[in-house]
Structure 1
Amino acid sequence: MNVVRSLSRWRKALLLVPLTFAALAGTPVFAQPEVIIREAPPPMRVEPMPGARPGYAWDPGHWRWEGRGYAWVPGHWQPVARHGARWKPGHWQARGPNWYWIEGHWVR
């Protein structure tokens, strides 16, 4: 009976190994699908920036594509990822007739 239990445990463990490798080999969390839109975003909204907050950088609001139209995303604070880095906000960039979203990121 103990041999049967032992084999059953080993079989379960061996089945988890390929699943673990498949999960690790998947798309990284930071990979973002490229957003390409033919409709230009609306003009930026005027949004007052709150007072400075140590350890954070202000990420201004922007328009996000929601599948059928744009929706406003209000500004928010980004925790500083690296000492001496500055936050480059995301923005829409025109390339020919299309508009591409460039994700915000930290720059040294």
Structure 2
Amino acid sequence: MKSMPLKLALVAGLGLAFAGATTYAPPASAQVYVTQVGVAPPPPRFERVPPPRYGYVWAPGYWRWDGYRHRHVWVSGYWVHGRPGYVWHPAYWDHAPGGWRFRNGYWAR
């Protein structure tokens, strides 16, 4: 019978560990990673946005460049944990001299 309290303590500890991991938000930064390619991305795909989730912001899907396959690959939209006082800027492509530049999504004040 001593193993039951030990199991409960272990489950409670794991629950707390996972709860802490899901509420962590890295510090805000204006780091924008840029990829430049000579091939324009296809038009964005239609995605049905799920119902709102309290404390989260929807990051829409985007085309990512896959250098190994030399083509664009669709990345589906996902929920981003909200940050009070910040605005989410989604990932996007823009045309520049020499090709197309991809910019990751980021938080900004």
Deviation by residue 1:2-40 (Cα, 9 ceiling, x = unmatched): xxxxxxxxxxxxxxxxxxxxxxxxxxxx96753110000
Which of structures 1 and 2 has the bigger CA Rg? 1
Aligned residue for 1:44, secondary structure, equals coil
Q: Tell me the equivalent position of 1:72.
A: 74
Return structure 1 stretches of 4+ with deviation > 2 angstroms: 30-34
2:34–2:104 contact (8 Å) kept in structure 1: no
Q: Is the 8 A contact 1:57 1:86 kept in 2?
A: no
Partner of 1:27: none
| Structure 1 unaligned residues grouped into runs of 5+ | 1-29
- Quote the Cα distance in structure 1 between the aligned partners of 2:93 and 2:62: 9
Quote how far apart the aligned CAs of 1:96 are.
Answer: 2.4
Q: Counterpart in 1 of 2:8? A: none
Q: Per the alignment, in what secondary structure is the counterpart of residue 36 of structure 1? A: strand
In structure 2, the partner of 1:7 is none
RMSD of the TM alignment (CA)? 1.8
| TM-score for both structures, normalised by structure 1 | 0.66
1:86 deviates by: 1.8
Separation in structure 2 between the aligned mates of residue 33 and residue 79 of structure 1, nearest angstrom: 20
Q: TM-score, normalised by structure 2?
A: 0.65
Greater alpha carbon shift after TM alignment, 96-105 vs 60-69: 96-105
Of all paired residues, the percent bearing the same amino acid is 38
- Number of residue pairs matched by the alignment: 78
Distance 1:42 1:98, change over 3 A: same
